[in-house]
Amino acid sequence: MSRRYVVGYFEEDGRLIRAVKELRDQGWAVADCFTPYPVPGLDEAMGLEHSYLGWVAFVAAMVGAFGMLALELFVAVYAWPVNIGGRPNASIPAFIPPFFEAGVLNCALTTVGALLAVCKLYPGREVPADLPRTTDDRFAVVLDADQAPGAADRITAALKRVGALEVTEQTPREAL
Amino acid sequence: MQSSAASVAGAASRPVAAHGHEVDPSDLPWVEGHKTLGQVTREIADYPMGRAGMPGAWWWIGLAISATALGIGGVCILYLMFVGIGTLGLSKTIGWGFCITNFVFWVGIGHAGTLISAILYLLRQRWRTSVNRSAEAMTLIAVMCAGLFPLMHMGRPWFFFFLAPYPNTRGSLWMNFRSPLVWDMLAISTYFTVSLVFWYLGLIPDWATMRDRAHGLRKRIYGLLSFGWTGSARHWKHYELVYLILAGIATPLVLSVHSVVSGDFATSLVPGWHATIFPPYFVAGAIFSGFAMVLTLMLVARKTMHFEEYITLRHIDMMTKVMLFTSMAVGLAYLSEFYIAWYSGDRYEQQHFLNRFLGPYGWWAFIMYGCNMGIPQVLWFKAVRRNLLVVFLISLTSNLGMWFERWVIFVSSLQADFLPSSWQFYHPTLIDYGVMLGSFGLFFTMFLLFARFVPMIAIAEIKHEVAHGDPNAHHGEA
């Protein structure tokens, strides 16, 4: 069964933030917000936790860099040692540039891959709901219409009170 | 809210902050014209969506010229591949000629994009937002042009995969990780990949904006390109952090790329190449030439696409200041080279630096030093920085000068080596010129296509700037 949502639209991000704060103060659970650009302070207002992708980036960078160092040592010491003027095979300083580049490369690809995976973004993904102009010039807050008996009407009234330009009810293709 | 009402009234006439003092110019909004968010979407997205009318005659003329150049280059590359690198002007004395000069020239051009999109992002230089998309696109195209040349120079480009470290049937024959040429391959390919990912990440919300305004086939295409982006706050949260991380790792990356490229030369024993100053020297030169190319392109684009309110005179002012600074950094490196050549007491070094000016190729050095060190000094004057024609001409001479810088360093160093009997000239062949022409054709063809089909300015980012960039505006009050 698909869920019903109440959607309130705003024309300024400041108003959206105040609406989100007020609705949460009144005890309503805010499902999500949709904005044309990242609104500063919105994640605190929504009570979202910090993104954990920084750890993914750190681990990916380490894996890339030390993986490359391991490959370099394997090649230079074990698989294809070359004696150049008696210098040591494990010439670590010369291995630093590939170490660095591989760390950066793996970090970038893995972190962006993780972003796409976490947000379930991929080419051909259907947009779950039609929220007009939210990628253009409007800011939408979305709340579950069935979170309490009679919630839809009360949320609609609350949204109008905090200055929403338009409030609609939607049954999106998938849960938001 | 009396003070904010006063500030709004004041903002219309002259920049006065809420407390009545004159506003620091750096606090003024970077986008002019008090735009609404919807206006930003329309003004930027209408071009790639084909709603601003057909591209003008100049676009078609530009495309015709650059595509012809690309075609000539393509024929020359095919000829070069069938016949071999003997068709170039290379000799036993001068093993690195036009191809490597062009390679380093294009890699250098590529540096401005990531500097603008990553380093200036970390430094919170808000003006970058108007130019980061196109500068980054320029980077990607320039690195593609650069990548052509080492590939051609291999002689047998179809064996390029020998550079990859993998267990193979040749022995296994592994690559030498101590070689700067291997570092170079890794640095350039990493740079290209990370820049591409960074650039595309910034494009995803803009494709979504265009998808939601389009119909039919266009909507399907933009839908595919946008990866189903919705602008959910939960997604933005991760997105912003990933954008910051990419900026953070791209910053050392961009500095590493030209350092590694300079290592191709600095680790050799050739007088004129064997200098420890090369990495910072090359990075400064790369940023100088990159900004020159950004200015060349942006001055044309803002005029023809009517982006004067997004790329303002202040943006151009900032970019010319970066050029002035890097020009002086490069100038310092030039002078240090001469000083060290004298101070080293090494007669080969000394002979080389005398030969730069007094040798048969002396006039190249005059172009190099004049265009890179001399001419940019006029940028000290505000009147010059505000005169777009002069800035445009300086951007062209700077690119010329930077091409000659590489040419002087590479060819005049090799031309007169340790053994006078092997001294030789470099005579570029038609194929040399053709491949170079082709790289310029590729560059401008790709850039024109980019300007036609991709939003030139980062829509989502500039909206944030429009909404929050004006300290005199009142957010959500009233």
Contact residues, chain A, for B464 at CB < 8 Å: 37-38
Write the DSSP symbol of residue B380: G
Select the residue of A46, A122, A135 nearest B233 (Cβ to Cβ).
Answer: A46
A35-68: per-residue pLDDT in tens? 999 988 888 888 888 889 999 999 999 999 999 9
Task: Look at residue B169 and tell me if it is in a domain.
Answer: no
Task: Look at residue B470 and tell me if it is in a domain.
Answer: no
Chain A residues 4-63 with a CB less than 8 Å from chain B:
12-15, 17-18, 32-40, 42-43, 46, 48, 50-51, 53-54, 57, 61
Could you give the CA distance from residue A62 to residue A99 in angstroms, rounded to a whole number? 10
Provide the residue range defining the domain that includes B392: 31-157+175-462
A61 shares a domain with A16: no
Write the DSSP symbol of residue B119: I
In chain B, the residue whose alpha carbon lies closest to the alpha carbon of A51 is B238
A31 shares a domain with A9: yes
Select the residue of B177, B228, B239 nearest A115 (Cβ to Cβ).
Answer: B239
Give yes or no for residue B162 having a pLDDT over 60: yes
Select the residue of B177, B193, B224 nearest A98 (Cβ to Cβ).
Answer: B177
Give the pLDDT mean for B301-311: 85
Task: Look at residue B374 and tell me if it is in a domain.
Answer: yes
Whether residue B344 is preceded by a cis peptide bond, meaning omega within 30 degrees of 0, is no
A38 shares a domain with A60: no
Give yes or no for residue B10 having a pLDDT over 50: no
A153 shares a domain with A137: yes
With CB atoms and an 8 Å threshold, state whether A15 touches B194: no
Give the pLDDT mean for A127-135: 84
Provide the residue range defining the domain that includes A97: 53-118
Contact residues, chain B, for A108 at CB < 8 Å: 193-194, 197-198, 246, 249-250
Give the pLDDT mean for B283-295: 92
pLDDT of amino acid B259: 92
Task: Look at residue B13 and tell me if it is in a domain.
Answer: no
Alpha-carbon gap: A118 to the closest alpha carbon of chain B (Å): 8
Question: Does B239 reach chain A within 8 Å, measured CB to CB?
Answer: yes
A1-18: per-residue pLDDT in tens? 478 888 999 988 888 998
With CB atoms and an 8 Å threshold, state whether B239 touches A101: no
Pick the more confident residue, B245 or B117: B245
B355-381: per-residue pLDDT in tens? 888 887 888 899 999 999 999 999 999
A114 shares a domain with A57: yes
Task: Look at residue B440 and tell me if it is in a domain.
Answer: yes
Chain A residues 124-153 with a CB less than 8 Å from chain B:
124-129, 131-137
Give yes or no for residue A102 having a pLDDT over 70: yes
Classify the C-alpha dihedral B213-B217-B221-B227 as positive or negative.
Answer: positive
Among B362, B365, B397, B363, smallest CA distance to B378 is for: B397
pLDDT of amino acid B22: 60
pLDDT of amino acid A134: 87
Give the pLDDT mean for A70-75: 93
pLDDT of amino acid B119: 87
What average pLDDT does the structure give for chain B?
86
Q: What is the DSSP string of A107-125?
A: HHHHHHHHHHHHTT--TTP
pLDDT of amino acid B109: 92
Contact residues, chain A, for B36 at CB < 8 Å: 137
With CB atoms and an 8 Å threshold, state whether B209 touches A127: no
With CB atoms and an 8 Å threshold, state whether A35 touches B236: yes
With CB atoms and an 8 Å threshold, state whether B252 touches A39: no
In chain B, the residue whose alpha carbon lies closest to the alpha carbon of A57 is B245
CATH number at residue B319: 1.20.1630.10
B404-421: per-residue pLDDT in tens? 999 989 888 888 888 888
A142-156: per-residue pLDDT in tens? 988 888 888 888 888
Contact residues, chain B, for A135 at CB < 8 Å: 205, 208-209, 211-212, 229-231
With CB atoms and an 8 Å threshold, state whether B476 touches A38: no
- How many secondary structure helices (H) and strands (E) does chain B include? 19, 0
Task: Look at residue B24 and tell me if it is in a domain.
Answer: no
pLDDT of amino acid B472: 56
With CB atoms and an 8 Å threshold, state whether A43 touches B233: yes
Question: Does A107 reach chain B within 8 Å, measured CB to CB?
Answer: yes
Question: Residue B257 — very low, low, confident or very high, per pLDDT cuts 50/70/90?
Answer: very high
pTM: 0.90
Residue type, B397: T
pLDDT of amino acid A67: 96
Domain count, chain B: 1
Question: Does B170 reach chain A within 8 Å, measured CB to CB?
Answer: no
Interface ipTM above 0.90: yes
Question: Does A162 reach chain B within 8 Å, measured CB to CB?
Answer: no
Contact residues, chain A, for B211 at CB < 8 Å: 127, 135
Question: Does B475 reach chain A within 8 Å, measured CB to CB?
Answer: yes
Task: Look at residue A125 and tell me if it is in a domain.
Answer: no
Could you give the CA distance from residue B8 to residue B3 in angstroms, rounded to a whole number? 9
Domain count, chain A: 2
pLDDT of amino acid B471: 56
Pick the more confident residue, B273 or B361: B273
A72 shares a domain with A100: yes
- B278-304 and B313-344 are packed helices; what angle lies between their axes, rounded to 10 degrees? 160
Question: Residue B2 — very low, low, confident or very high, per pLDDT cuts 50/70/90?
Answer: very low
A105 shares a domain with A67: yes
pLDDT of amino acid A104: 95
B118-133: per-residue pLDDT in tens? 888 888 888 888 888 9
A40 shares a domain with A72: no
Contact residues, chain A, for B173 at CB < 8 Å: 80
Chain B residues 40-79 with a CB less than 8 Å from chain A:
41
In chain B, the residue whose alpha carbon lies closest to the alpha carbon of A73 is B177
pLDDT of amino acid B190: 94
Q: Where are the alpha helices (DSSP H) in chain A?
A: 13-25, 42-46, 53-73, 92-118, 151-161
Sheet order of strands, A5-10 included:
A30-34, A139-144, A5-10, A166-170
Strand partners, A139: A10
Select the residue of A71, A112, A115 nearest B165 (Cβ to Cβ).
Answer: A71
Give the pLDDT mean for B294-323: 88
pLDDT of amino acid B51: 78
Give the pLDDT mean for A91-114: 94
Question: Does B365 reach chain A within 8 Å, measured CB to CB?
Answer: no
Task: Look at residue A82 and tell me if it is in a domain.
Answer: yes
In the three-class reduction of DSSP (H, G, I as helix; E, B as strand; rest coil), residue B409 is classed as helix
Contact residues, chain B, for A79 at CB < 8 Å: 172, 174
